[in-house]
Amino acid sequence: MLRLNSRDPGFDKAFRRLVRNRRESGEDITRDVALILDEVRNRGDDALAEFTRRFDGHALAADSDWSIGRDACREAYDNLAPDLRVALDLAARRIRAYHEAQRPADRDYTDDTGIRLGARWRAVDAAGLYVPGGRAAYPSSLLMNALPARVAGVERLVVVTPTPGGRVNPLVLAAAHIAGVDEIWRIGGAQAVAALAYGTQRIRPVDVITGPGNAWVAEAKRQLYGVVGIDMVAGPSEILVIADGRNNADWIAADLLSQAEHDPAAQSILITDDPVFADTVADSVGVALSMLHTAKVAGESWSTHGVIIEVASLAEVPALANALAAEHVQIAVEEPQPIADAIRHAGSIFLGRLTPEAVGDYIAGPNHVLPTGRRARFASGLSVLDFMKRTSFIQLDEAALRAVGPAAIALAEAEGLPAHARSIETRLGQ
């Protein structure tokens, strides 16, 4: 675990190195993914069967090996323990309600020249949702991807999820039932993303692919952008916790480990103005790790990528946070709003000592699919808009065309495009 102190002479250089550090795929993954995409594009289902057998230990032979039907999803939901069913239903209601407020409004108006202008929003026809199933299976990810798509009005929802050794997580199936997923295919990795983008003999292509995955999944989405739309290229998870010394160190340690346990490449960063508290949190992380069944993953993440930064004053925090542009920013101070107001770049912000990031992962409502790797500088979390597109429209009558046409003709001629100019001139009788 790295310790930095803003008072040290070499801090600026060390912090810039931290900001520039990339924890994502290298050239070997880029090359391997390109080969996988090419195989699926050319060989379709045969390539999917081969890759699924090799990577997941699951044979795709009969139709039942390929997909999971709605009846199985309903059965999984009915067989859930009552407390889990209540929890999933509550999460779904809150996620749906939050995203319904994101639906954009159409525009239709006439300006002072008499030109009718506007735009309409429409959902894509089909969305592909990647749901991880390797290191862990996440029903919360299915809800976070499927419900905004449904709110947007997407008619066909297609889930791909790996089933290592043929094992299916019933919580994922229950979440699929709640969200009304249309198709579930038992494939994962870059090959699943390729199947969604290109289509195969069994799987029809989609228009947009969303959802988190490993480095191969992220790289496949990057390479296929343009063939399909994507939400983002997501890297390993990250959290920045800003905390003063009046916090419970065990709470903050748990917050840091909540992201570290996702992936050995995940990153947890603490910024504090209290050096004694920093030491206490470091000790608490060690104690907490000894009690986690995810200790191997979380411990590797913390020891390799964990960071504690001591600052002279919390007034330094916004500049550091903006440079890090973290996926999750948790502000555990008495008055968090002034710091939050000064942070321009963050995937999602969690305000106050009683707002752990984990609440946002499951039940709060805002989407937990968020930009990583400093992409919060220019990207936002998944929303209804990722499943929609805007089409503008224009309508002129004769008076309106006479009001603006001559200016358009002048610009067309200046650009050396006479046919553009002529298409307007002929309507004006010129």
Among 154, 189, 142, residue whose Cα is nearest residue 32: 189
The Cα–Cα gap between 313 and 331 comes to: 14
Q: How far apart are CA 294 and CA 261, in angstroms?
A: 6
CA end-to-end span of the chain, whole Å?
Answer: 75
Residue 58 falls in the annotated catalytic set: no
Name, in order, each residue with C-beta under 8 angstroms of 251's C-beta and a sequence gap of 6 or more.
332, 353, 356
Quickly list DSSP for 256-268: HHHHHTT-TT-EE
Is-catalytic flag, 327?
yes
Sign of the torsion angle spanned by Cα atoms 96, 102, 105, 106:
negative
Number of Cβ within a 10 Å radius of residue 381: 19
Distance between CA atoms of 311 and 316, rounded to whole angstroms?
7
Among the listed residues 99, 177, 328, 368, the single catalytic one is: 328
Distances (CA, A) of 167 to 74, 139, 261, 310, 382: 17, 15, 22, 45, 28
- Which strands, in side-by-side order, build the sheet including 116-123? 107-110, 116-123, 388-395
Task: Pick the catalytic residue from 183, 219, 310, 327.
Answer: 327
CB 122 within 8 A of CB 105: no
- What residues act catalytically? 327-328
